Structure 1
Amino acid sequence: MGNLADRIEEYLKQILEKTSEGYIVLQRSELAGEFECVPSQINYVLDTRFTVERGYLVESRRGGGGYLRIIRLGMGSEGQYQKVMRQLIGDQLSRDRTNALVERLFEEELVTLREAALIKSVLSGNNLGGEFRSWDELRARLMKDILTTLSRDDLV
């Protein structure tokens, strides 16, 4: 099956799929023991695979009574995820964060594979070369517009 990080990610996603609450609570040390790894490997997976851009919030408390809470942000008809992302994008958006956002939109079937590729291409900045200095700023504005458009109900 893939590397350790892939296995941990898949395991956590399977648990999240089975829960009706939309979140899971785990002990970092127990999870590390189950995968026979150090807790920092669990942290790596959470930091890279369970980000807000990918549709997750992770709450963590370290220490003896510590826990991990992984919350799956729902898309919902009210556009909860889109609203959260518009707020969190801020004034600048990197290419990596943009790609993670677009991948989540595809996973939630809000865009097709072709539309996702188109959005990534347009927002990559490759076509602008060195002519534009504030590409991360422009990317943030464009991504907010895309999210706003996707959350509208009056589209034909």
Structure 2
Amino acid sequence: MSNHNTSDLIEAYIKNILENSEMIEIRRAEMADLFNCVPSQINYVINTRFTIQRGYTVESKRGGGGYIRIVKVQLSDKRHFLERINQLFDHELSEKNALAIIQKMYEDEIITRNEGNLMLSAISKNVLGISSKEDELRAQILRAFLERLSYEERK
């Protein structure tokens, strides 16, 4: 079984559990045994697929009784959500992280599919890759989108 497929299976398994619960605690070693992989594979999945950009917070406690706690982020309103997203990045933003943020806004019905696609076009490497400051431009553009969306919410 390839690492990519194992990662997908681990992600799907965790998301399936999270469908019925806002928070779960898992043990790295037990998950590794379940999927017949090394514990670092579990870490990889958690660190790359259960991020705040994707709507999760992760807390980890190492040691004998260690665990990984994954919590779905539940925000009270659209404005609070947009403010939280705005705090996720400073002056630079990779295309991958911007994609995850836009995907989360779409999944949480903050933006429509069409708005998301327009945003993706504006921040894409194809458009911004001509500049040596691509990640800075992407952060500025996404911040402007968030500000405008937040402004619309206040009306």
**Where does 1:51-66 land on structure 2 (aligned, <5 Å)?**
51-66=51-66
Other structure's SS at 2:70 match: strand
> Take 1:122 and 1:112, find their aligned partners in 2: how far apart are those partners?
15
In structure 1, the partner of 2:141 is 142
Mapping 1:9-24, distance limit 5 Å: 9-19=11-21, 22-24=22-24
Deviation at 1:102, TM superposition (A): 0.9
Match in the other structure for 1:93: 93
When residues 28 and 5 of structure 1 are mapped into structure 2, their CA distance, relative to the original with a 3 A threshold, is same
TM-score, structure 1 normalization: 0.84
CA 64–148 in structure 1, closer or farther in 2 if over 3 Å, else same: same
Hey, what's the Cα distance between the residues in 2 that align with 1:148 and 1:15?
A: 34
Per-residue deviation at 1:120? 0.7
User: Contact 1:73/1:81 (CA < 8 Å) preserved in 2?
Assistant: no
| Aligned match of 1:107 | 107
Structure 1 residue 148 displacement after superposition: 3.0
Superposed displacement of residue 29, structure 1: 1.2
* Counterpart-to-counterpart distance in 1, 2:100 and 2:118: 14
The structure whose residues are more often helix, as a share, is: 2
The amino acid across from 2:121 in the alignment is S
The answer to whether residue 62 in structure 2 is matched with residue 69 in structure 1 is no
Q: Does 1:46 align with 2:39?
A: no
Structure 2 unpaired stretches of 5+: none
Contact map agreement 1:53 1:104 (CA 8 A) in 2 = yes
Q: Between Structure 1 and Structure 2, how many residues are aligned?
A: 151
Unaligned residue ranges in structure 1 (runs of 5+): none
- So what's the TM-score if we normalise by structure 2? 0.85
* Residue of structure 1 in register with 2:120 after alignment: 120
3-state SS in 2 of match to 1:133? coil
CA contact (8 A) 1:74 1:80 kept: no
> How far off is 1:99 after superposition?
0.8
